[in-house]
Structure 1
Amino acid sequence: MRFSVFLNARSTKPEEDGRLITDLIDHAERAGDLGFSAIFMPDHHFNGYMPVASDSFLLAAYLAARMPEMYFGFSVVSVPLHHPVRFAERINVLDHLTKGKLLVGIGSGTTPEEMIGFAVNYKEASALAEKNLATAEELWAKRMDDPAVVIDNGPYQGRVLQRITPTPYGEHHARLMPVAFRESSARRAAENAWPAFIPAFTPPQIYGTEPLAHVTKHFGNYRRLLDEAGHDQAAIAAALDWTTHTYQCVHIAETDEQAREELEIILKGYQDAVDRENAFNRRAEADDANKKQDVNVNALDDGWIGTWCLYGSPETVIEHLKPYQELGIGNVLCGTTTGPLTEQRLGFANQTLDLLSSKVMPAFA
């Protein structure tokens, strides 16, 4: 089982942005020194959710130069917010910069406030994502003298006459990682022998206290489709190696009691930041085209903690993760910087990295 770090910190005011970027770079390099397998980044806009998430491709390129052995990933790229040409081009560039060590999570987005900033309606996001992905595949496959690729997808228009550059690093473009909610998304991953994100809930409810039951259901469906796709065992093993379950907040301390006490400090800061963001999201949801169906609960609710958090002593965390390893999860993605990245929060994050690497990861090596 692999362990990867998710750089999901928030900034709550403009004067924090620069320091947060520097602190996250230091945190990523610390994770690399401690033996974590990958650094994943979000793709978000406007809301203070990690300032460089506005262009996390840039951060990945910067880190790739400093950490040439590291894998890099996105959790996840909001496909409706990217022109398909720029989406395909940037993935190819980063594929070369990472020497093929790139994993591109893909989804349709979660936040109406972000959508309206790109002239996208929230309720149209899923259809836009599907068509953008289909167009990107056309662009990746296009040779110089093939007919033009015509782009006609809502706010995204164009006509590509030649090929896009650069070509992918390997024989195929970088691996995409769909979220295995819908049958179509799980099938896309399986048929291409790509890894998938395996969620711990089933919409429209996005929280609960039985995460393993949901992970088992979604992973089982993905694994069935992967087996049915007819790949050889090497391709199946490579897909499962990076099939990922994500914890938005991971916190480890020497004892369960200490971990819970510190987790509540972290989640209170996180909830304060979310409350500020929700005020703007409500303004974005002023019309039916941008109304969300799923509504998150308070982060201190047992259901939210049960779905999104991994915490406790190293021994407790090991016991929690054993069933996931037995199920076949290949990569545990750890949100180690959840919430505003204060000095205290950064200390908690580094504590978690140190205990994960020294006491938890060896149990799953």
Structure 2
Amino acid sequence: MRFSVFLNARSMAANEDRKLIQDLTSHATIAAELGFDAIFLPDHHFNGYMPIASDSYMYAAYLAAKLPQMHFGFSVTSVPLHHPVRFVERINILDQLTDGKLLVGVGSGTTPEEMIGFGVDYKDSKDISENNLAIAEQLWAKQMDDPAVTINNGPHQGRVLQRIAPAAYSPGHARLMPVAMKEASARRAAENAWPAFIPAFTPPQIGGTEPMKHVSKYFGIYRALLDEAGHSPETIARALDWTTHTYQLVHVAETDEQAREELEIILRAYQNAIEREAEFNARAEADDSNKKTDQTPNALTEDWIGTWCLYGSPETVVEHLKPYQALGIGNILCGTTTGPLTEERLRLGNQTLRLLSEKVMPAFKVAEPA
């Protein structure tokens, strides 16, 4: 089973942005040195949310030059916020820069506030996302002499006469990673032999204390669709190798008691940030086109902790993950910097990296032959 790091830290003020970027670069470098497989980045915008996430493709290119051995992923790109041409161009450039070690999570976005900043109504986001992905496939396939690709998708307009440059490094294009929450998304991943994100909840409830019930359900659907698609065993194995289950917050300490105490400190700061952001989200939900249908529970509740957190001593974390390995999950995505990135939060994040590397990951890694 692979282990990847999710750089999902927040900044609480403009004068903190630069240090956050520097600290996350250091954290990613430590993760690479400790043997983690990939760095995943978010795609979010506005109100001091996640400074690296305003253009995580640019930040990924910067890290790729420093950490050429690493895979890079996005969890997840909000497809309605990206013009299809820029979406394809950026992915192709990163695909080239990483020699194909790229995993592009795709989804329709999370908050109305982010949508309205790009001229997208939240109610239209799913349709715009689906259309953008279809247009992107046309752009990836287009040769110089093919007919023009016309783009007429909400705020995204255009007419592409020539090919996209650069060409992709990977056959066709870099791997996309849909969130396998709906059959259409799971089928898109399965038919293309792409990995998928496997969620631990079922909307409209975002949370719960039985995540494995949901993980098993969505993984089972995706796995059956992979078989139905008629891929070779080797192709299926490659897709499952990166099929990902995400924890927004992973925290490991020497004992369960220490881990729980530190987890609650992290979550209190995280919840304070969420409540600050909620004020701006509420302003964006002022009309019927930008109303959310689901609400995220308080991060200090057992519902949120049970769905989104992995914590404890190394021994406890190993036992927790064994059923996920047995199910067939290929990659565990670990939010190791969740919340405002203070000096203490960074210390705790680096503590988690070290303990995962030294005492958890060896239980799930197959030793290379001598």
1:79 and 2:66 are equivalent in the alignment: no
- The question of whether the paired residues in 2 share the 8 Å contact of 1:8 and 1:49 is answered with no
Distance 1:50 1:273 in 2: 11
> 1:49 Cα deviation (Å)?
2.4
Q: Which residue of 1 aligns with 2:35?
A: 35
* TM-fit CA distance, 1:171: 1.9
Equivalent residue, structure 2, for 1:241: 241
- CA distances 1:260-312 after superposition (whole Å, capped 9, x unpaired): 00000000000000000000000000001100011011100000000000000
CA distance in structure 1 between the aligned counterparts of 2:295 and 2:68, rounded to whole angstroms: 40
Name stretches of at least 5 consecutive residues in structure 2 with no aligned partner. 366-370
- Other-structure match for 1:277: 277
Counterpart for residue 187 of structure 2:
187
Corresponding letter in the other structure for 1:338: T
| Mapped partners of 1:7, 1:64: distance in 2 | 14
Report the alpha carbon displacement of residue 233 of structure 1 after superposing the two structures with TM.
1.0
Residue aligning to 1:54: 54
Task: State the distance in 1 between where 2:31 and 2:91 align.
Answer: 23
**Partner Cα distance (1:151, 1:47) in 2:** 30
Normalization by structure 2: what TM-score?
A: 0.98
The alpha carbon displacement at 1:170 in A equals 2.5
1:21 equivalent to 2:21? Answer yes
My pick for the range that moved more, 28-37 or 162-171, is 162-171
CA contact (8 A) 2:113 2:281 kept: yes
Q: Secondary structure at the residue paired with 1:194?
A: coil
Q: Give the AA of the match of 1:142.
A: K
Could you tell me how far apart the structure 2 residues matched to 1:310 and 1:142 are? 44
Kindly indicate whether the alpha-carbon contact (under 8 Å) linking 1:123 and 1:290 is maintained by their aligned counterparts in 2: yes
TM-score w.r.t. the length of structure 1 is 1.00
Matched with 2:229 is 229
**Cα distance, 1:48 vs. partner?**
2.0
Alignment partners' CA distance in 1, 2:252 and 2:312: 5
Quick one: distance in 2 between partners of 1:88 and 1:239?
A: 21
User: Would you say 1:354 and 2:351 are equivalent positions?
Assistant: no
The percent of aligned pairs where both chains have the same amino acid is: 75
- Structure-2 separation of matches of 1:268 and 1:15: 22
> Does the CA-based 8 Å contact 1:103-1:177 persist in structure 2?
yes
RMSD over aligned Cα atoms: 0.5
What is the CA–CA distance in structure 2 between the aligned matches of 1:296 and 1:165, rounded to whole Å? 40
Match of 2:263 in 1: 263
2:66 match: 66
Aligned position for 2:207 = 207
Per-residue CA deviation, residues 150-169 of structure 1 (Å, 9 max, x unaligned), is 00000000000010101110
One-letter amino acid matched to 1:237: A
Q: How far apart are residue 7 of structure 1 and its match? A: 0.1
Give the C-alpha shift of residue 180 in structure 1: 0.3
Match of 1:125 in 2: 125
Aligned to 1:286: 286
Amino acid at match of 1:26: S
What is the CA-CA distance between 1:52 and the residue it aligns to? 1.5
Query: What does the per-residue CA deviation read over 1:79-122, in whole Å, with 9 as the maximum and x for residues that have no partner?
Result: 00000000001000000000000000000000110000001000
Residues of 1 paired with 2:342 and 2:263: CA distance? 14
Match of 1:178 in 2: 178
Which residue in 2 is equivalent to 1:298?
298
Residue aligned with 1:40, SS? strand
* C-alpha distance after superposition, 1:118-174 (max 9, x if no partner): 010001000000000000000000000000000000000000001010111022200
3-state SS of paired residue (2:150): strand
Q: Shift in Å at residue 50 of structure 1?
A: 1.8
Q: Partner of 1:3 in structure 2?
A: 3
| Conserved 8 A contact 2:141-2:172 | no
Q: Where does the alignment leave 5 or more consecutive residues of structure 1 unmatched?
A: none
How many angstroms does 1:214 deviate by?
Answer: 0.3
Whole-angstrom distance in 1 between the partners of 2:126 and 2:17: 31
Ranges of 4+ aligned residues in structure 1 off by more than 4 Å: none
Shift of residue 321, structure 1, vs aligned partner: 0.3
User: The residue matched to 1:181 in structure 2 has which SS?
Assistant: coil
Q: How many corresponding residue pairs?
A: 365
Residue deviations 1:8-35, cap 9 Å, x none? Answer: 0000100000000000000000000000
Partner amino acid, structure 1, of 2:303:
G
Kindly provide the amino acid, as one letter, of the partner of residue 354 in structure 1: R
SS at match of 1:202: coil
Equivalent residues in 2 for 1:127-166, closer than 5 Å: 127-166=127-166
Q: Distance in 2 between matches of 1:357 and 1:69?
A: 17
